[in-house]
Structure 1
Amino acid sequence: MNKEYRAFRRLYHFLYVVLFPVYRVKCIGGENIPAGPAVFCANHSSNFDPILLCMGIGIEHHPHFMAKIELFRMPVLSSVIRAIGSFPVDRDRSDIGAIKTAMKYLKAGEKVGIFPEGRRNLTEDGDAKRGAVQIADQMSVPVIPVYIPRNKKPFHTYTIVVGAPYLVNPERKKLSRAEYDGLAGVLMDKIAALKAAGEAGQ
């Protein structure tokens, strides 16, 4: 058990005890999560989403989240999220460092968490950036689409839905930026398609 996973387990247990009485979380499709490296990709409407995702998929799965750089400018929070293996991305430019860090974790057999929309979006029609599918393709690892309910209310049960993992470019063709943009749209469609299962499971 590595240092980051030990820190993740401690934080998971703490947050579970603190939040479970207020926010109940269950998961549909957890059996879809493969062993080995993969990229969790979920819709994003709240800073609370990484916690809900982790509570849904369970402590045995440890996503290293690509998180906005602004969070790493808050001293206490930065120390906590760095300790569990999250890493910063500057959303206002092409952040090669963040991409290399994501690839490093995937190469080591770890899982990475990326919110493809890049920013919080309260609607169901958000556009995705190409980065998540491009990283998954370059590392030949599956993407795992995940739906997280957008409306956050205390004393409510949230159903996290995990879709089937898939390779974004199984034929390993050389793709253009426009083609990656198209594949990012396909990813968001897959995430949106999981909403019905979540609502049925409430």
Structure 2
Amino acid sequence: MRWLAYMISRFLLKLILGVVVKTHVLHRERSRLPGGWLFVSNHISHFDPPFLTVAAFRKLDWMATRELYHPWPVALWMKAVDTFPVDRERADRAATRETLERVKRGRVVGIFPEGGIRDGANSVLEGASLKPGLAGLAQLSGAPVVPCALIGSDQLYTHRNWIPFRKSEAWIAFGEPLYVEGEGKEARAAFEERIAAALRALYAELKERFALTEKDLPQPPARRKGRL
């Protein structure tokens, strides 16, 4: 039943996004990686999960902030499509256990390791650090981490971009799987730096490949809404 709910939701998302956005995807085949693994992306808007869910070949079980589980119909739908909540304000052991269990069962868990929506100097794409914890999950699970860079989803904060067939654009690039090397605090720190570097490299690849301009790059939601 959950698989059906996910596939119906994915189909509807693909239909909606296909009408209003032209999405360019690089290295999509990297999302076919078999077995359980962790999928990580930069986070520039509330629309990121739909874009990435549609772009990836594998089914993604999203780790989502608990604030999104209200009102109850939303919580019911999110549970139906196999998301699970995380408390971003503390070390959430329940979310950690759930992640490890799902990866062990051969599933793919989607995570935004920046800990929230970020742009500019606050974004990993522009040099900011990731929120600690991702490397620990990779160590405990022994699973690979597949990085992904996303640009353009924040353009949907501009209301006119929802006009059918107006075709705003978004760009996505999947990276190669990365594994933790070694154990301990230093190994975790080094791995998180590798993930951050991989995300920046994908970002640079997208900018060069598609000749992106400043207006294409991530901006604050308020600016996209015309409030700045």
Matching residue within 141, 161, 172 for 1:160:
172
Aligned-residue Cα RMSD (Å) equals: 1.7
Greater radius of gyration (CA)? 2
The residue number in structure 2 matching 1:21 is: 19
- List aligned pairs for 1:175-190, cutoff 5 A: 175-176=184-185, 179-190=187-198
8 Å CA contact retained: 1:27, 1:57: no
- How do 1:138-149 residues align onto structure 2 when only pairs under 5 Å count? 138-149=140-151
1:199 partner amino acid? K
Larger CA deviation: 110-119 vs 27-36: 27-36
In structure 2, what is the Cα distance between the partners aligned to 1:50 and 1:157? 16
Taking a change above 3 Å as real, the CA distance of residues 72 and 181 of structure 1, as seen in their structure-2 partners, is: farther
- Answer yes or no: is the 8 Å Cα contact 2:23–2:169 preserved in 1: yes
Residue equivalent to 2:75:
78
Select the structure that is richer in helix. 2
Match of 1:40 in 2: 39
Distance 1:101 1:120 in 2: 23
**TM-superposition CA deviations, 1:102-152 (whole Å, max 9, x none):** 111101000000111111101223321222221122111100010001563
1:192 aligns with 2:189: no
Matches within 5 A, 1:80-159: 80-123=77-120, 124-149=126-151, 152-153=154-155, 154=161, 155-159=167-171
Q: What is the TM-score normalised by the length of structure 2?
A: 0.79
Displacement after TM superposition at 1:201 (Å): 4.0
User: Residue 177 of structure 2 aligns to which amino acid in structure 1?
Assistant: P
Give the CA deviation at 1:35.
1.0
Secondary structure of 1:157's counterpart equals strand
SS in 2 for 1:152: helix
SS in 2 for 1:21: helix
What CA distance in whole angstroms lies between the structure 2 residues aligned with 1:161 and 1:122? 18
Give the aligned residue type for 1:162.
F
Q: 2:203 and 2:81 mapped to 1: Cα distance? A: 29
> How far apart are the structure 1 equivalents of 2:112 and 2:153?
17
Measured in 2, the distance between the counterparts of 1:16 and 1:151 equals 14
Q: Which letter does structure 1 place at the counterpart of 2:207? A: E
Contact kept, 8 Å, 1:41 with 1:115, in 2: the verdict is yes
Match of 1:57 in 2: 56
Offset of residue 26 of structure 1: 2.8
Pick one of 11, 18, 21 that aligns with 2:9: 11
Stretches of structure 2 that go unaligned for 5 or more consecutive residues are 121-125, 156-160, 162-166, 211-228
1:174 CA drift (Å): 2.6
